[in-house]
Amino acid sequence: MFAQAVRPRQKHRSKALGQRECFVVPTMKFVDEVFIYVQGGNGGDGCLSFRRERFIPHGGPDGGDGGEGGCVILRVDEGLNTLVDFRHAREFRAENGQPGMGKQRTGRSGLDLEVRVPLGTLVYDADSGELIADLEQKGESLVVARGGSEGLGNTRFKSSTNRAPRQTTKGKPGEVRGLRLEMQLLADVGVAGLPNAGKSTLVSAVSAAKPKIAAYPFTTLYPQLGVVSASPDRRFVIADVPGLIAGAATGAGLGIQFLKHLNRTRLLLHLVDLSSENLADDVCTIEAQLRQYSEALFSKERWLVLNKVDLLAEHEIAARTQEATERIRWEGPVFFVSALTGKGCRELISRIESRLDAMDTARRDRLTESMC
């Protein structure tokens, strides 16, 4: 039994980077935190019954046990990328077990209820705030409310000194709890920057994602995911989150709501508008918000991507870049792109692919060493 319908991924082709095949996760209303109520099914009661048949005057007890209650199970569904389905369906109850019957017949156990959630869902206890599980594996499942155990029929109480027991037990109630589900996007690469730096344009240029693009701040209200196929056997996921502003880490703008989604990325692209008159200040603003929100997020590997090179002459680009990098003492890689025209995007994607491959190789080596 499934609580939610499967939403299959859609396949598109993008010509932004030649004829590479790209995929995009379907876009829908983004909801990344919900509270739900789950209840396991109650166990069935035991049966009080005695065998009554012709020519068998002392048939004895024959009441069967009840059935076990069903469990509520959260299961990862890759076809989902938001918790929007929980906005209206907040209560999930598994089926109760059936009571036992005569002739020592056991009641049917209740069916488990599977509730589908997106990949990357964090499950918290609503009362204590304790993290129960992090569902970050494909096909992973978690029992969040166990069904009640079955009641015992009077057959169970038969003994040499109690030939006609009239004792039975009732089924146990199912587990009841409140849960808070929090979704954090699972992306290999995250794009961070000020509003109108060109984040959505870049994501649309390198993948088949089609986020809304306009010339006003906070055009992007919800995170967008694009899956880039840079080569036939290698894909990676890139995430565009709403623009950050000064004070985002403490609640200003939309940043505090979505900064958490960058926690799961392996590489951050620090996107800056090269035509800005305050280039160095723009870089420092984002760095400050990342550090204020989380030291772990700030310490992630970051690349500086200077966008909108099509708006400046070559000598202006060199002068602005030198001034900014010297002032902020940037030591990481620096890339020059035009998300609008596609200039520099191919090289950026190729470098990202190589870096992610190197990270995967290093991770496998560490796992191999730990097992030896």
> Would you state the structure tokens that stand for residue 199, as one six-digit string?
């984040």
Choose from 126-135, 245-254, 270-279, 358-367 the range with maximum mean pLDDT: 126-135
Amino acid at position 351, single letter: R
Kindly tell me if the per-residue pLDDT of 23 is higher than 50. Answer: no
What are the pLDDT digits (tens) for 142-194?
Answer: 999 999 999 999 999 999 899 889 999 999 999 999 999 988 777 888 888 88
Per-residue pLDDT averaged across 72-98, rounded? 89
- CATH number listed for the domain at residues 189-371: 3.40.50.300
What are the pLDDT digits (tens) for 308-359?
Answer: 888 888 888 888 888 777 788 887 888 999 988 888 898 999 999 989 888 8
* Cβ neighbour number for residue 299 with a 10 Å cutoff: 10
Of residues 21 and 147, more confidence is placed in 147
Q: What's the mean pLDDT when you consider all of the chain?
A: 81
Domain limits of the chain?
Answer: 33-183, 189-371
CA–CA dist 244, 283 (Å, integer): 11
Write out the CATH class of domain 33-183: mainly beta
CA–CA dist 36, 231 (Å, integer): 41
Rama region for 91: left / alpha / beta (φ>0; ψ in -120 to 50; rest)? beta
Query: What is residue 115's predicted lDDT score, i.e. its pLDDT?
Result: 95
Query: What is residue 275's predicted lDDT score, i.e. its pLDDT?
Result: 85
Q: Percent of the chain beyond pLDDT 90? A: 30
What are the pLDDT digits (tens) for 283-313?
Answer: 888 888 888 888 888 888 999 999 988 888 8
User: Which three-class secondary structure string do you get for the chain?
Assistant: CECCCCCCCEEEECCCCCCCEEEECCCCCCCCEEEEEEECCCCCCCCCCECCECCECCCCECCCCCCCCCCEEEEECCCCCCCHHHHCCCEEECCCCCCCECCCECCCCCCCEEEEECCCEEEEECCCCCEEEEECCCCCEEEEECCCCCCCCHHHHCCCCCCCCCCCCCCCCCCEEEEEEEECCCCCEEEECCCCCCHHHHHHHHCCCCCCCCCCCCCCCCCEEEEEEEECCEEEEEEECCCCCCCHHHCCCCHHHHHHHHHHCCEEEEEEECCCCCHHHHHHHHHHHHHHHCHHHHCCCEEEEEECHHHCCHHHHHHHHHHHHHHHCCCCCEEECECCCCECHHHHHHHHHHHHHHHHHHHHHHHHHHHC
Q: Percent of the chain beyond pLDDT 70? A: 82
Of residues 264 and 253, more confidence is placed in 264
Q: How far is CA 363 from each of CA 11, 94, 112, 188, rounded to the nearest angstrom?
A: 30, 40, 37, 14
Query: What is residue 256's predicted lDDT score, i.e. its pLDDT?
Result: 57
Instruction: Collect all residues with Cβ–Cβ distance below 8 Å to 78 and sequence separation of at least 6.
Output: 9, 119, 138
Query: What is residue 198's predicted lDDT score, i.e. its pLDDT?
Result: 82
How many alpha carbons lie under 13 Å from residue 313 in its C-beta half-sphere? 2
